[in-house]
């Protein structure tokens, strides 16, 4: 492609690019997803009218390993390839992902990371999400035409993903830093987890930067200078390997995108995140100011 793929694109850029033949003509995905406490239905919102014209819905729960006991874990290469191909996305398609959250970005960075993990670098996040699109006065629609399926080839880059065993071994080896982007209450164990059967807390040795700290008041990502200072002031050294965790691997991807804006690509995601750690780890490895893990 003649143009440079940026991790973040503006609402104006997307408005100008959609439907043109002279620029990237991206395939747009609405990746809206919410935890139950948010009381929002992304499928209903997509059709009332609530999506960018030409966008297709992307469901992170459907595009996941449904055999796993942990929520929305990465699917197999073949499943991802079929799911994405059915959205009209080919190997050379530029994909732009957004969500409709009040934060500006909530689940979209997860889908951005999934594409990159499966070897597709032509993917961007709409900076500020649907919130920015609406703020600029651009139109929404409730109409949707299912795209024609195309061939997509997926190859998982396992260096982008950390497993439970990787994180467990790192408690001793300390080969990488561990960043937890849950809210402070969930990290400290003083506020409840939204996942049934999971108590709040954090992994030993992890540091906490809530995912929303990477965003400005407008919902857009902070400037690279601000992001570098945020990482540095919280003890994260972007010159060293970094893994990110959260509740279930969704908002962890904010930190990956933020680090990339700072020029750092050595950042991975603990896909199972806290849901897997709490389930599998021994009680002494579940740190919490609350009740912690009980048997």
262 catalytic? Reply is no
Q: Where do we find the tokens 């990746």?
A: 31
Q: Of residues 63, 246, 253, 262, which has the active-site annotation? A: 246
What positions carry a catalytic annotation?
A: 246
């Amino acid at each position: 492609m003649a143009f440079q793929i940026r991790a973040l694109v503006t609402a104006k850029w997307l408005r100008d690019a959609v439907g043109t033949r002279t620029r990237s003509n991206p395939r747009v995905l609405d990746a809206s997803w919410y935890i139950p406490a948010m009381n929002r239905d992304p499928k209903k919102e997509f059709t009332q009218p609530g999506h960018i014209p030409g966008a297709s819905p992307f469901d992170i729960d459907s595009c996941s390993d449904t055999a796993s006991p942990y929520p929305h874990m990465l699917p197999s290469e073949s499943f991802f390839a079929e799911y994405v191909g059915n959205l009209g996305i080919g190997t050379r398609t530029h994909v732009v992902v957004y969500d409709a959250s009040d934060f500006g970005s909530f689940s979209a960075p997860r889908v951005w990371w999934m594409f990159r993990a499966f070897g597709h670098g032509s993917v961007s996040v709409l900076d500020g999400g649907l919130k920015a699109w609406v703020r600029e006065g651009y139109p929404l629609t409730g109409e949707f035409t299912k795209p024609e399926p195309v061939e997509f080839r997926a190859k998982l880059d396992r260096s982008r993903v950390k497993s439970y065993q990787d994180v467990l071994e790192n408690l001793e080896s300390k080969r990488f830093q561990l960043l937890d982007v849950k809210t402070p209450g969930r990290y400290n164990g003083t506020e409840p987890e939204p996942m049934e059967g999971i108590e709040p807390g954090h992994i030993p040795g992890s540091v906490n930067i809530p995912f929303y700290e990477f965003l400005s008041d407008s919902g857009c990502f902070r400037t690279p200078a601000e992001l570098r200072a945020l990482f540095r002031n919280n003890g994260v050294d972007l010159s060293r390997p970094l893994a990110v965790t959260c509740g279930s691997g969704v908002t962890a991807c904010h930190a990956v995108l933020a680090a990339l804006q700072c020029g750092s690509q050595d950042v991975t995601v603990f896909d199972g995140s806290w849901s897997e750690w709490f389930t599998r780890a021994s009680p002494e490895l579940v740190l919490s100011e609350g009740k912690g893990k009980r048997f």
